[in-house]
Amino acid sequence: MFDEIPVALSPDENLSDPPNWRHWTWWLRPIVALPLMLFVLLLLSPFLVRGWHLAKVPDIADPFDVEAFLSETVDDKDNAFVDYHAARALFVSDTSLTDDEREELEAGWEKTSPPVRAWVDANLPALNRWRTGTEKTDAIDGDLRNDPWLSLPEVAPARDFSRLAWLQGEREQSEGHLAEAWKWYRAAVRFSRHVAQRKDWIGRSLGWSFYALTAKRIVRWASDPRTSGEELRSALNQLTEDYRLTRPVSELLKVEYCDLPKYAQLDDDGKSPFSFGPTSSDWRDWRFIRYCRGEPELTIRFKKLFFENWLCGCDSPRSLQHRISSPKGFVLDVTAPGSGISGMGVLRMMEFAETGWGTSFAKIRNSLDTELARQEALRLTLACQLWFRRHGEFPSKLEDLVPDIVSELPVDPLQSRRVVSLSTRS
């Protein structure tokens, strides 16, 4: 009986009514969905374009132990800069000199006026303490980790003490004290090596400029007929030893690498605060456009690949290096053990990065090799003067210097073994 009685459903439970999907189907209508999708894609486009650009160049690990490099320290008893800073405390400024008298500092001791000579005498205590520092083999100026800009040495104090050393050496030479004059010239050579330690190209350039001016005075000292053969032999041996203070190219690259994050900093104009060139007005340098193109991350990634490639063999002589050249620079024809990327792979990725480092480093490396050639040329100059003291004439060819004067002739640092063009390898 009860099975025949119909059961009435409540209005809420009436299953005969279809579900209300009007709200959702409205969003799926083409007239609504297409503009909405275009709007979302427009919002995401900067991130999508940036991701597409960054996918072209892999982000590898640091090519060397950055932590160990920045944590490197030198004991105070072995650190030349301890004495250099102490000498600065004793330094007497040249504020009392006129502009004309300051120009005499480069003219040589014999052309200096009494005020300039009095300034040199007043700085003899500081100069003696400075020379104590040049006798040390290592030099770190401050804390590498906390240095806001590794590449910039203190130019003014370095220039002042170099000038004082040159004048004092010329003073001793003019008075006939050739052995004492050499001590001051040698101190200036070693100081130029210390200034360039743990610095990038700017620091290296400053050190080499001091060395070049010192070398001119050493040539005049070696050409002085009062300089004996024994003094020349001693100077040649000491100069060969001092050249070992010249730091390898890999140290320059490591300093540049540690400075990479600073190049990534941009001001409101989209220009790096560590850039010394004029601000570009090109639309591609706008901050938003650079972000969409993956900058500065893309350039930093490429530079990491470049540093990794060169650190594999940059300290080898040029004659032993196999290089691949391109319009943007050159790399070594090696496969990096860390990332497994070859030199050709680095050059191909170079086309995606807004960087001129490859070309810049090509010029820097040529300059470094040129300075090494000049360094060896100074050794040969002393060797030829020593030959002249012994034989009364200069050697007819450099091979005559071997083995009595020098054990072997230096290899030309500018001699290349092989440079392969990118077009010939493609």
Q: What is the DSSP string of 358-382?
A: HHHHHHHHHHHHHHHHHHHHHHHHH
Chain CA centroid to CA 213, Å: 22
Residue 264 has pLDDT above 60, yes or no: no
Q: Which of 79, 170, 84 is nearest to 128 (CA)?
A: 84
Residue 186 has pLDDT above 90, yes or no: yes
Tokens of 318: 């040029």
Between strands 322-326 and 329-332, the pairing is: antiparallel
Report the first-to-last Cα separation within the chain, whole angstroms: 94
Task: Give the SS3 label for residue 334.
Answer: coil
Tokens of 121: 């005498």
More confident call, 322 vs 229: 229
pLDDT grade, residue 417 (50/70/90)? Answer: low
Give CA–CA dist 177/61, Å, rounded.
56
pLDDT grade, residue 100 (50/70/90)? Answer: confident
User: What residues have CB less than 8 Å from 131, skipping those under 6 apart?
Assistant: 165, 183, 184, 187
The answer to whether the predicted template modeling score (pTM) of the entire model surpasses 0.95 is: no
Residue 146 has pLDDT above 50, yes or no: yes
Q: Which of 308, 364, 303 is nearest to 335 (CA)?
A: 308
Handedness of CA 227, 104, 165, 251 (dihedral sign): negative
Considering only the C-alpha atoms of the chain, give the largest distance between any 2 of them, rounded to a whole number of Å.
Answer: 144
Which pLDDT score, from 0 to 100, does residue 90 have?
94
pLDDT grade, residue 412 (50/70/90)? Answer: confident
Chain CA centroid to CA 250, Å: 9
Report CA dihedral (168, 169, 174, 178) to the nearest 10 degrees: 140
Residue 391 has pLDDT above 90, yes or no: yes
pLDDT one-digit tens code per residue, 213-243: 999 999 999 999 999 999 999 999 999 999 9
Residue 35 has pLDDT above 60, yes or no: yes
Residue 271 has pLDDT above 80, yes or no: no
Give CA–CA dist 254/331, Å, rounded.
16
Give the residues across from 418 on adjacent strands.
322
Q: What is the mean pLDDT of residues 276-303?
A: 73
Which pLDDT score, from 0 to 100, does residue 30 have?
74
As a whole number, the mean pLDDT across the chain is: 82
Residue 272 has pLDDT above 50, yes or no: no
User: For the chain, what's the residue count?
Assistant: 426
Percent residues over pLDDT 70 in the chain: 81
Q: Where are the domains of the chain?
A: 77-253
- Alpha helical stretches, state H, 55-79: 66-70
Task: Give the SS3 label for residue 268.
Answer: coil
